[in-house]
Amino acid sequence: NPLKLSGFGGLKWYRPLELQHLLELKLKYPDAKLLVGNSEVGIEMRLKRMQYQVLISVTHVPELNVLSVKDDGLEIGAAVRLTELLKTFRKLVNERPADETSSCKAFIEQLKWFAGTQIKNVASVGGNICTASPISDLNPLWMASRAKFQIIDSKGNIRMALAEDFFLGYRKVNMASDEILLSIFLPWTRRFEFVKEFKQAHRREDDIAIVNAGMRVYLEEKGVELIVLDASIAYGGVAPLSISASKTKEFIIGKNWTQELLQSALKILQTDIVIKEDAPGGMVEFRRSLTLSFFFKFFLWVSHQMD
């Protein structure tokens, strides 16, 4: 049944069962917080003392829970839990041609070092994306893997946004107050297209990243040369939002995948991702060197795949 509970101080908690009902609630209460795992909102309310008057639990809306395998990729409902996503990726890696699942493998690796089992069992994909934490472990990977977000407004209009263009500022995303995230579309990778995850934290298990990243390169064999047809380089933990190293990306596209490309790209990367001396989070030197070493590791890893 749909539920509506009222609490102390006028707090309202809804649990709609249909998308239409959810959209009506979002129109009526544009400032309402959506909940799935409550692993972000719970902390905001209890530890940061933030007050929300209207909470809408979206766990029971079928459209937000889809996991649908398409010809060109995977559609993932925004309320899908991380454990469920991990299981699906593992199954797909076994079933589909290896060329198609480079992104899936990167997500599997990143999810291994994401929180603990209890959090992953309840935390959702959409909750992570929409919180837009500058240190989200998954957002740089959505950006790198050419994912698209399906966004629906209260009238039911649907639009697509590229993950790469979705994050606008500190916890700010390209979504209006009457819009919600419906689903994520993750395209399959192609032959000679490689996606890799990176995360450096103080501790390997259950720790927040110092710097993380998602990188992708799409190569073409031309005689003895390997030409970069397309690429993405996205970082977390180096700015108030997950960001693309766009100058470096533009520089490597069209070039031959060689040691010279690596050396020049590392130089450009230093002007592309700039962490100021007084940047929040400290450890500036360390974060600068992580930014470079992730790209260095990516270069070696891709070259090894092509051997």
Chain residues in the site for ligand FAD (CB under 6 A)? 33-41, 43, 58, 64, 78, 114-115, 119, 123-124, 126-128, 130-131, 136-138, 180-181
Question: Smallest distance from the beta carbon of 39 to ligand FAD, in angstroms?
Answer: 3
CA distance 146 to 163: 7
Nearest residue to ligand FAD by CB is: 127
Question: Smallest distance from the beta carbon of 66 to ligand FAD, in angstroms?
Answer: 12
Question: Is the CB of 207 or the CB of 221 nearer to ligand FAD?
Answer: 207
- Cβ burial of 131 (10 Å; 0-12, 13-18, 19+) is middle
DSSP string, 155-199: T--EEEEEHHHHEEETTEES--TTEEEEEEEEEPP-TTEEEEEEE
Question: Is the CB of 101 or the CB of 136 nearer to ligand FAD?
Answer: 136
Question: Is the CB of 136 or the CB of 248 nearer to ligand FAD?
Answer: 136
Question: Is the CB of 149 or the CB of 251 nearer to ligand FAD?
Answer: 149
Question: Smallest distance from the beta carbon of 276 to ligand FAD, in angstroms?
Answer: 23
Question: Between the CA of residue 148 and those of 76, 185, 280, what are the distances in Å?
Answer: 10, 5, 30
Helices (H) and strands (E) in the chain, counts: 11, 15
Question: Smallest distance from the beta carbon of 137 to ligand FAD, in angstroms?
Answer: 4
CA distance 111 to 86: 7
Question: Smallest distance from the beta carbon of 178 to ligand FAD, in angstroms?
Answer: 11
